Each structure stands twice: as structure tokens, then as C-alpha cells.
Structure 1
Amino acid sequence: MLKLYTNTNFLTETYRRQVFPLLFDLVFKKNDTLLSKYQLVAAIEDADVVVFPADYAVFLKQKHACTTLLHLAKQHQKPIWIYTAGDYGFTNYIPNSYTFRLGGFDSQLDTNTFVIPSFINDPYDTFLPQGFSALKKDSTPSIGFVGHAQSGFKKYVKEYTNHLKYRIKRAFNVILADQQSFYPSSIKRAKYLSQLAVNDQLNTQFILRHHYRAGSQSELTQKESSKQFYDNMFNNAYTLCLRGVGNFSVRFYETLAVGRIPILINTDCRLPLSSKIDWSKHCLIIEEKGKVPIAEQILKFHNSLTETAFENLQTSNRDLWLNTLRREPYFLEIYNQFKTKQQ
């Protein structure tokens, strides 16, 4: 059992959307499996870990509560778990702390930073009723993509304007976020996809949107666009995955959930649980600044797989998502890692 101490005043409906994901599962969902491993305690003396109850940017604004919890953790020499949400996340320099975040730049993150997967619902429950099955290997690799990808001067100006807004908000402390260089992700996606589309050795099935979720507003149109998104992913062995505003890709986890093979353009990403997972065995990772053309790397990877290995890779990716990257198994693995540290 790993015993957690936190300020329970923030474990209420008011802060429901900002609560540390593990605490959310323990308090709001009452996940029995996690409750068998984690226990909230009323006295800090009994705790193994002190947990900031909500997103760091939210909790930090509650100065008295934040300062009090920090003081108690220091006084009792307890490690601190801190959750920083949003596309950017925030690097803190609090001694004896561990940060949980969605992304960030691997070269800038310390060993006490844990990347959280994007926790998504199982696409087979809603959008793919046929259930999982591995695709047979074809001599020509099939690559899918449905999403926001657009080039052109107007698009560049729009994305740069959004970046300037982020910088202004950050400068005036409207948002608490790490500094980040301008990265026009939609334009980058369009560039990579166009390079692949003209290669006759690849079977490309791309549907490019000019807006996120095709600009869908109603529940019906959002469901329709999601169905098209997952159908494309299901019917193609590979999906191109590239970061968005933050340095991580939700599409990467969606591809794994479907049981297909991500082609990840590596922009100095840190992937979850990299001490446990050999990510090179689950996806094709292409360095953004590499000199070998993307299409050439895809063909080499595809041709290196036997028919059996090709199908096994898809099954392995589906199993990885089910057994490691969903909320419950992810925090079970975190439990195992921290219990090992205590021994």
C-alpha cells in the first residue's frame, strides 16, 4: 500500500476538472483496483507521499494552502507528487518533487518527470464495433491520417499569432507554462504528408482538415468525424503522428489503442514509462532533423518485418495500450516503481 497525504479541500466538484488524475480515480471514481494499492491518509506522519491535489497552476494560486502543504512536506521529509496539466505543462524546481505531465522536451526534463499518456476511451467501445483484428501484411505499406493539416501564408500567420498570444499570456502570468519556441504543427503535418502522398511505393489514405475535428460543433457531427478518424486508422497499418501545440501527440496513443503502428516524428519527445517500455519495438520513430527521407525509413521498417512479425506488432500495440497506457494500469505501474524506490 502506498499512502498519500493531500489537501482534501480541493477534492470537490469545484476542482473536479483540475484534480490530479490519480486522486480523481481514487475519490470520484472510487476505482477498487487502485484503492487496493493507494490509500489517502489523514495524518502526514503516516504518508509515503504528499500529493498536490490539483493542477499546479491552479493550486499555486491558493497561496496559503500551497505554502502550508509545501512546508509540511519539507518538515516531514516527504516526497511530493505534482501534476501540471495543459498542452505546455510547467517545470517546477521544488526539491524532492516528482512531476507528472502530458509532454515537454526530453532533453530539458529531469529524471523525476513522468510523462502521462493521453487517457482516451477505448475506440472499440464506441467507434469500431467490429473489434480488434490485425491487418495482413501487404508489400506496399498503407499509411493513414485524418486531421488538421494545412499549409500556406495565411495559416502560418494564424499559427504565429496564436503563439504570440501564448507568449503574452505567459509574460503576464496569465498562464503558468514552460517557454516554448514557435512550432507551426499544422503546417509541418501538411509538409510531411505531402512528401508521403507523392511516393508511389506507399499507399496513402489522407484526409486533411483545415480545422480541429473538421470544425465540428454539434455532438452528431463530432461523432461522425471521430468515426471517420478511427475507421481510417483501423484500415491502415500505419498512422503519421506529430505533436500539436504541446510537444506530444494524442494521435500516438489513439493509434496504439486501435492496435496499429504509429510513425512518430520525434521532436525531442519523452514517451511514458520509457524505463519499462522499449518504444522502438512498438513504433517507428523518425528524428525530425534526420537526413534520411521519411518515405525511405518507412519502407525500410516495413520491409524488415515478416508477415508474422507485422501482425504480432499490431497485437502487441493493442495489448500495450490495454495493459499499460490506460489510467488504471498506468498508475499501477507508478505504484510499482515507487514501492521499488522505498525498498
Structure 2
Amino acid sequence: MLKLYTDEQYLTPENRSSVFPLLFDLYYTHNLKLLEKYQIVSRMEDCDIAVVPVDVAHFDINNKMIELNGFVDQALALQKKVWVYTAGDYGLSMDRLTFTFRMGGFDSKLNSNTVILPSFISDPYSLLQKEFKAIPKAALPRIGFVGNASNSLIKRVKEVFVYLRYNYKRLTKQLSTDYQAFYPSSIKRYHFLSLLLKSNKVETDFIFRKKYRAGIKTAIEKQKTTLEFFLNMEKNPYNFCLRGAGNFSVRLYETLAMGRIPVVVDTDMRLPLNIEINWPAHCVFVSKDSLEEDLISFHNTISEQIFILMQENNRKLWVEYLEREAYFSKLHSLFKN
């Protein structure tokens, strides 16, 4: 059992969307399996880990950094580990001696106490109402993709506008995040996918969307496009994964949950549980300058048996390490030991 202390006055209905993810499971949804591993205590002196209750940006934006620093200072003075959470696409690097939980960032710039959270998704096979089944290896690599990828002038202008608006909010303290260079992800996707489309050594199965999630407006549209997304993934052993606005890919976790093989463009990502997980055994990491060659080389090298096993292991990896409850169970083991 790990004993956690937090400031429970922040655990209100209004703060549900910004609360530290594990506290959400313990305090709001009362996950019984996680409550067997974690206990919230009422005194900081009695805890193993002091958890800042909400996204650190909440304190910065609301001029409460003194309160945040006081919480951290008190915990460190008691020689407690401190967990902080920085939400959103970009996240905020912390200079304090804390463990910072975030979705992504640049591995070469993150300190050793930065803990990456996976994107917590529901099991896609529950939606498909099917069982996982690996795809045999074919002569050519077959890669799928459904998503926002466009090279139109309108899209280029929109990407620039979104980036400028983000930086304006950073400069005016409406957002509290790290700076990131301009990265028009939908245009980059279009460029990389177009290169694969031209190849006679790769089979492609791509559906290009002009808007995020196809611009859905109704529940029926959401169900239809989500089903189309996962059916494409089900029938293609490889799936193309590129970062979005932040330096992480939700599609990576969706691909693993489907038991397929992510083809990940290397953008200096740090992935979750990187001490526990041998990520090159689960993904094909490709360079932006040699995407086609890297994929073909991998496919030609891997045996039929390992190709099947890799898909099985990817499904297992998601179930045992990256599904929400599984992830926090693994985290418990890491910090308990």
C-alpha cells in the first residue's frame, strides 16, 4: 500500500478535468483495485508521496504559485516524494525536486524525474465487439491510417493561426506551458503519407480527413468515424503514428491496444515506463528522412513467427501496462520498490 497525501479542498466537482489522474480514480470513481494499492491519508507526515492535487498550471494562472511552492517545500522538508501533474498538449517543465507527470515532451530535454502518462483509452475491441487476432506477414508491408492530414492552403493558414494564438496565450499568462517550435502536424502527416503512397514496395490503406475527427458534430457521426478508424486498424498490421500538437501520439496507444505495430516517426519522444518497457520491441521507429526505407528494412528482416508474436505482445503490453488501471498498478510497483 502506498500512502498518498493531497490537499483535498481542490478535489471538487469543478476541478474534475484538471485533477491528478490517479486521484480521479481514487477520489471520484473509487476504483476498488487501485484503492487496494493506494490510500489517501489526512496528514502529510504519514504519507509516502505528497501529490499536488491539480494541474500545476491552475496555480500559475490563478496567481497561487506561493501556495504550490509551499506545498512542495513542506513535503520535501519532510523528505517525501512529490508528484505533480502538468496537463495538455505541451506541459510545463518543473525545476523542483519533484516527479513531474505529463503526456509528452522532448526526451533530450526532460529530466530523469519526468514520468510520461499514456493516453488513457477504452478497449477498442469492446467497441468492435470482436476478439483480437494477429495478421500474418505478407510479402509487402501493409500500413493503415485514418486521420487529419491535409496540405491545403486553408489548413496551412489555420496551423499558423493556432500556433500564434497559443504563443499569445503563453505570453499573456493565459496558459502556463513549455515553449515549442512550430510543428504543423496535419501537414507533416500529409507529406509523410504521400511519400508512402508513391512507393511500389509498400501497400497503403489511407483515409485522409480534412478536420480533426472528421469534424464530427453528432453522436452518430462520432460512432461512425470511430468505427471506421478502428476497422482500418484491424485489417492493417502496421499503422502510421506521428505526433500531434504536443510531442506524443494518441494513435500509438490505440495501435497497441489493437495489437498492431506502430510505425512511429522519431521526434525525440519519451514514452511511458521506459525503464520497464523495451519500446523498440513494440514499435518500428523511423526517421523522417528515410521513412519508407526504414519500414521496408524492418519488414524484410522480421520473421513470420516474430511478426505474429510482436502483434500479440503489443496487445498484451497495452492490457498489462498502458490501460489506465494497469498503468497505475505498475506505477505502484515502481514507487513501492
Q: Shorter-normalised TM-score: what interval?
A: over 0.9
TM-score, structure 2 normalization: 0.96
Q: 2:198 is matched with which residue?
A: 198
Q: 2:5 is matched with which residue?
A: 5
Shift of 1:151: 0.8
Q: 2:167 is matched with which residue?
A: 167
Q: Is 2:309 aligned against 1:308?
A: no
Tell me how far apart the structure 2 counterparts of residues 79 and 140 of structure 1 sit (CA, whole Å).
50
CA RMSD of aligned residues (A): 1.3
Q: 1:37 is matched with which residue?
A: 37
**Contact 1:137–1:310, Cα closer than 8 Å, also in 2:** yes
Task: Give structure 1 regions of 4+ aligned residues with deviation exceeding 6 angstroms.
Answer: none
- Number of residue equivalences: 335
Give the SS at the match of 2:293: helix
Letter in 2 for 1:74: L
Q: 2:92 is matched with which residue?
A: 90
Give the SS at the match of 1:140: coil
Correspondence 1:1-343 to 2 at 5 A: 1-60=1-60, 61=62, 63=64, 65-94=67-96, 96-126=97-127, 128-288=128-288, 290=289, 293-340=290-337
Q: Deviations over 1:113-133 (max 9, x none)?
A: 01000000000111x212210
Shift of 1:332: 1.5
Aligned-pair identity (%): 46
Shift of 1:147: 0.3
More moved, 25-34 vs 258-267: 25-34
- Could you say if the C-alpha distance between residues 240 and 261 of structure 1 is closer, same or farther in structure 2, counting changes exceeding 3 Å? same
TM-score, structure 1 normalization: 0.95
**Contact 1:52–1:59, Cα closer than 8 Å, also in 2:** no
**Contact 1:18–1:54, Cα closer than 8 Å, also in 2:** yes
**Contact 2:145–2:206, Cα closer than 8 Å, also in 1:** yes
**Contact 1:4–1:48, Cα closer than 8 Å, also in 2:** yes
Tell me how far apart the structure 1 counterparts of residues 256 and 193 of structure 2 sit (CA, whole Å).
20
Tell me how far apart the structure 2 counterparts of residues 130 and 319 of structure 1 sit (CA, whole Å).
16
**Contact 2:265–2:291, Cα closer than 8 Å, also in 1:** no
- Could you say if the C-alpha distance between residues 228 and 308 of structure 1 is closer, same or farther in structure 2, counting changes exceeding 3 Å? same
Tell me how far apart the structure 1 counterparts of residues 185 and 284 of structure 2 sit (CA, whole Å).
19
Q: Which runs of 5+ in 1 are unaligned?
A: none
Q: Which runs of 5+ in 2 are unaligned?
A: none
Tell me how far apart the structure 2 counterparts of residues 295 and 66 of structure 1 sit (CA, whole Å).
47
Letter in 1 for 2:79: Q
Letter in 2 for 1:80: V
Give the SS at the match of 2:150: coil
**Contact 1:119–1:325, Cα closer than 8 Å, also in 2:** yes
